[in-house]
């Protein structure tokens, strides 16, 4: 284990160094990202692992770029954590920290990198945008469940052009109350304004088809400054219904204007969703 000096009341300003950790995880193994004392979460595991690996007296607080629900994956989540200052600074300290943490995490979470950053860096508030992707299988081959841990299988064929015309309506700044689950203790009249930068569906190549038991694979890539709860999954289920011809491609625009979920389908399953990148001013984290 790494040996770090524990915090004491005599340390100036707490004698901590802020660290940025980039990480990946399979969301099906957790009850979500955010810390919940009675549940197995990504932050809960990270806090316990940091305390054990660095021999800290108490678990450190961790701040993430964004929360992912139970079953949602991440290929490049970003967090920051303030850790006690080491007694000795070595040139390979970052590599040693990554190696030590990954050894303890045993593949449940993979630390991609760990770097010391300025105290001004904030994993959530310093982020310029977040990007998610959602995978949809375009048919239900024999023996393939309608939902699995990495994609959502639906009846095809899907009208990709109609889905992209619907997706264009979400680009820009809108009130997404019709497509989000409202935060606890918030007013029903409070807007949920979010700025979407890009949203596009594409049909993937043969290498994806083979891995999905020959079912055609569609991918939504959506980038926004921030997202509200269930936003991507609600948009996906609506746009899939558009692709199946069950809803008009104007439904997204209409519901953004009316703020009503009337006749909209329930959110798409969590397994098809993954956080794939977070951007900061340094251009890293994608």
Q: pLDDT by residue for the chain (286 residues), tens digit each? A: 555 444 443 444 458 899 999 999 999 989 999 999 889 999 999 999 999 999 998 999 999 999 999 999 999 999 999 998 864 444 447 889 999 999 999 999 999 999 999 999 999 999 999 999 999 999 765 545 555 678 999 998 999 999 999 999 999 999 999 999 877 777 778 899 999 999 999 999 766 655 555 678 999 999 999 999 999 999 999 999 999 999 999 999 999 999 999 989 999 999 999 999 999 997 554 5
C-beta separation of 142 from 57 below 8 A: no
Domains of the chain: 12-116 (3.30.70.580), 129-279 (3.30.70.660)
Per-residue pLDDT at 148 = 62
Q: Which one is catalytic: 26, 69, 189, 282? A: 69
Q: 257-272 burial, b if ≥16 CB within 10 A, otherwise e?
A: eebeeeebeebbbbbb
Alpha carbons 101 and 54: distance in angstroms, whole number: 9
Note if 69 is an active site residue: yes
């Amino acid at each position: 284990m790494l040996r770090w000096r524990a915090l004491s009341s005599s340390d100036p300003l707490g004698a901590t160094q802020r660290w940025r950790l980039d990480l990946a995880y399979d969301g099906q193994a957790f009850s979500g990202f955010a810390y919940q004392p009675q549940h197995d979460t990504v932050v809960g595991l990270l806090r316990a692992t940091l305390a054990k690996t660095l021999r800290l007296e108490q678990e450190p607080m961790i701040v993430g770029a964004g929360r992912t629900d139970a079953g949602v994956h991440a290929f490049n989540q970003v967090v920051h954590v303030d850790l006690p200052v080491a007694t000795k600074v070595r040139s390979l300290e970052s590599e040693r920290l990554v190696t030590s943490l990954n050894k303890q995490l045993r593949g449940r979470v993979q630390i991609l990198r760990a770097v010391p950053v300025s105290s001004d860096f904030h994993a959530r508030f310093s982020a310029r945008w977040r990007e998610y992707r959602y995978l949809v299988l375009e048919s239900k081959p024999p023996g393939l469940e309608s939902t699995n841990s990495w994609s959502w299988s639906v009846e095809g064929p899907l009208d990709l052009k109609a889905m992209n015309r619907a997706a264009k309506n979400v680009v820009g700044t809108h009130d997404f109350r019709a497509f989000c689950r409202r935060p606890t203790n918030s007013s029903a009249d409070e807007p949920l304004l979010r700025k979407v930068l890009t949203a596009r569906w594409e049909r993937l190549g043969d290498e994806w088809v083979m891995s999905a038991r020959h079912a055609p694979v569609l991918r939504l890539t959506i980038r926004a400054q921030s997202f509200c709860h269930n936003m991507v999954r609600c948009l996906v289920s609506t746009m899939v219904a558009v692709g199946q011809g069950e809803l008009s491609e104007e439904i997204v625009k209409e519901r953004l204007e009316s703020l009503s979920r009337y006749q909209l389908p329930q959110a798409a399953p969590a397994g098809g969703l993954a956080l794939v990148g977070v951007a900061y001013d340094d251009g890293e984290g994608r």
